[in-house]
Amino acid sequence: MAAHSPFPSPWQADVLDDPVALTRAMVDIESVSGDEKEITDAVELALRSAPHLAVDRVGNVVRANTNLGRAQRVILAGHLDTVPLHDNFPSTLDGDLLYGCGTSDMKSGSALALHLAVSLPEPVFDVTYLFYDCEEIDAEHNGLNKISQSHPDWLAADFAILLEPTYGLVEAGCQGSMRVVVRIEGRRAHAARSWHGVNAIHGAAEVLRRLAGYESRRVVIDGCEFREALNAVYIRGGVAGNVVPDLCEIDVNHRFAPDRTAVEAEAYLRDFFEGYHVEVVEAVGGALPGLSATPAQDFITAVGTAPLAKLGWTDVARFASLGIPALNFGPGDPNLAHTKNEHVEVTKIVEGAEVLRRWLAG
C-alpha cells in the first residue's frame, strides 16, 4: 500500500498505549523552558494520528478536542517544559522508579493526558487536551497564560484538571501569593555619636516581632483546609561599618487562602504592618476549589480519596480567573519536583491512568 498517514507520530502505537513507556519517551526529549519545539512537534503528531481529535497549535501550545456533542466539556492540561537538567537526563528505570528531569514535574502527568487523548475516542464528557510551554519561567512566557489572552475560547469548559504532581491525591484550588517590601526608616549618624541618629536596623525588631507572633489563618472551603502563611524571606540594611543606617528593608512573602482576593490580602498586610511603609512587588490571586461541579464530583468519586487544599500557587488559578473550577491531580511527588533526584513511581502512573480512564469512560 502506498498510502501512509500524513502525520506519522514519532511514537508507535505501543508507546502511546502505555502511559509508562510514553512518560519515558517524553522525558527523553529534552525540553527545558524555551526549548519545547521538538517535544511539541511530537505531541502534535501523536494527537493528529487520532482521527477522533480536532487539533490546533499556536506556537508551542497544542489543543486537541473531542467534539461529541456532550453536555459538558472538561480540560486535561499539562506543561511540556522542565527546569534545567541536573545530571538527570535521559531517563533511567530502577525497579518501580523512573528517574529523570521532568518525570515528576510533570511529564508523567502530561503523558496521562496524551495517552487518554489518543486511546479514548468516546469519553462521557467532551474533552479538551491542552499541552503548553514555558510554565517553569516568568508568567509572561507561560503558554497557558498567553493562550488565555489570545484564544480564551480554547479554555471554554465546565471543569479542568491540571496534571501537576500531587502523588495521586486530589489537590483542589490553590492559595494566592503576594510579596511585599516593608521599609523601616531611620536617620544616619556617625556610629561614634549614634544618639544623633535613628538606627533603622534596630527598628526592624518590631516588624520581626510581629512576624514571629503571626498565627496562620485557617479556612475550610469545600472540605479542604487552606492554611495561610506569612514569612520574612530577605532582609537588607546597612551603609558602612561606622554609620548608623537610615534604611532597612524586609521582603515578606504571604500565602493567602482563596476566599480572599489579592486586594483583600494587601489590605490585611497594610493593617498587619501598620506604622510602616509597605510596597507590593508581586500579587497573584488563588483559586477556589470549585468541587461542586458535576464532573468534579464524579472525578473525586473515581479517585476515592478526600480532596486536599493545594497550598502552592499553580496554573489552576488561570482557569479560576476565567470562571472554570480546576484541581491538581498527577502521579508525581511534588517534593521531588526540580530536584536532581527527581523520579516517579511506575505504579503511580498506572494508577493515575486507571483513575482518569474510569472517570472519562463513565
* Residue placing its CB nearer to Zn ion in the complex, 164 or 298: 164
Catalytic residue, chosen from 81, 171, 228, 342, is: 81
For Zn ion, give the closer residue by CB, 106 or 250. Answer: 106
Considering the complex, state which of residue 250 and residue 336 has its C-beta at the smaller distance from Zn ion: 336
Q: Count the Cβ atoms, other than its own, within 10 Å of residue 80.
A: 28
Judged by CB under 5 A, the stretch of 148-156, 163-171, 178-186, 325-333 that binds Zn ion is 163-171
Judged by CB under 5 A, the stretch of 20-28, 157-165, 256-264, 265-273 that binds Zn ion is 157-165
Q: 334: Cβ–Cβ under 8 A, 6 or more apart, which residues?
A: 104, 105, 164, 165, 166, 167, 312
Find the shortest distance in angstroms from Cβ 254 to Zn ion: 22
CB of 79 to Zn ion, least distance (A): 6
Cα angle for residues 272, 277, 280 (degrees, 5° grid): 80
Q: Write the CA distances from 259 to 135, 162, 180, 265, 357, integer angstroms.
A: 25, 21, 20, 10, 32
Question: In the annotation, is 249 catalytic?
Answer: no
81 part of the interface to Zn ion, by CB under 5 A = no
**Shortest distance, position 328 Cβ to Zn ion, whole Å:** 10
Q: Which stretch binds Zn ion (CB under 5 A): 33-41, 98-106, 272-280, 353-361?
A: 98-106
CB of 130 to Zn ion, least distance (A): 14
Residue type, 221: I
Amino acid type, 37:
K
Of the candidates 283, 316, 284, the residue with the CA atom closest to the CA atom of residue 171: 316
228 labelled catalytic: no
Judged by CB under 5 A, the residue of 15, 61, 106, 172 near Zn ion is 106
Terminal C-alpha separation, the chain = 38
**Which residue of 18, 44, 81, 105 would you call a contact of Zn ion, by CB under 5 A?**
105
With CB under 5 A as the contact rule, which of the stretches 46-54, 102-110, 148-156, 191-199 interacts with Zn ion?
102-110
Provide the β-strand partners of residue 248.
Answer: 184, 237
The answer to whether 54 and 64 are in contact (CB under 8 A) is yes
* Distance of alpha carbon 218 from alpha carbon 4, whole angstroms: 59
Q: How far is CA 249 from CA 177, 191, 252, 268, in A?
A: 19, 20, 10, 19
Question: Choosing from 135, 136, 164, 228, which is the catalytic residue?
Answer: 135
Any idea which residues carry the catalytic annotation? 81, 135
Q: Which residues bind Zn ion (CB under 5 A)?
A: 105-106, 164
